[in-house]
Amino acid sequence: MPKTELIKRPIEKIGLDLKKSAWFAVAESLAIIIFGILMIVWPDITVTVIANILGAIFIVSGIYQIVNYFVVKGQNDFFNNGLLVGVISLLIGIAAIVIGENIANVFRIIIGIWMIYESLVRVNTAIKLHSVGVNVWRYVLAIALVMLALGLFVVFNTDALFQLIGWVMVFAGVVGIVGDVMFIQQINTVVDKLTK
């Protein structure tokens, strides 16, 4: 096998791993938007039902992330936040299901913590983009800080109506997708910088 092909394969693997992580982030932002829309359209829907659905989703996502972390560990550390994501998702999922009927305020806090976590992952991405000299890091950081502010609003604003929280979630999800798409457009540049 020619030497150039041996070099090319790991580079392609890095690009694929980054794209997978970026598209997973897009999916998480879409989930935030969907839950936000549900809270806007049906504010009277039983919170317990939503909590159980969210709990199940978080538990499945957490288990997947933990297993996936150990499967890909060491192959690509650029986006390897899987263990942290998994543990937090698992704990949130269990809390959502166990608390059940008294979930109204906890539900708001869970959503806010999820948004804060998403923003911190994007801050981490911005720092890594800056370290490899990709200029788009400033925009990713700005978007992450907006998401962080919205997450903090949801967590600490006890008087916020579920419809208002729904609108905040939709906005945060859209902002997140914009940042994710910006990163996806820069993946080739990131891979080039990492492999020099």
CB 187 within 8 A of CB 136: no
All structural domains of the chain with their residue ranges: 3-194
d(CA 168, CA 155): 11
Residue of 30, 32, 115, 79 whose CA lies nearest to 187: 79
Residue 76, pLDDT > 60, answer no
d(CA 64, CA 146): 28
**Which tokens hold the place of 131?**
């370290």
120's CB contacts (< 8 A; 6+ apart) are 144, 148
115's CB contacts (< 8 A; 6+ apart) are 32, 147, 148, 150, 151, 154, 169, 172
pLDDT of 120-173, one tens digit each? 888 888 888 788 777 778 888 888 898 888 888 888 876 666 777 778 888 888
CB 32 within 8 A of CB 172: yes
Helix or strand or coil: residue 5? helix
> What's the predicted TM-score (pTM) here?
0.55
Residue 2, pLDDT > 50, answer no
Residue 196, pLDDT > 60, answer yes
pLDDT of residue 160: 65
DSSP string of 10-64, one letter each residue: HHHHHHHHHHHHHHHHHHHHHHHHHHHHHHHH-TTS-HHHHHHHHHHHHHHHHHH
pLDDT of residue 11: 60
pLDDT of residue 194: 62
Q: Give the angle 37-39-41 at the CA atoms, nearest 5°.
A: 65
Stated length of the chain:
196
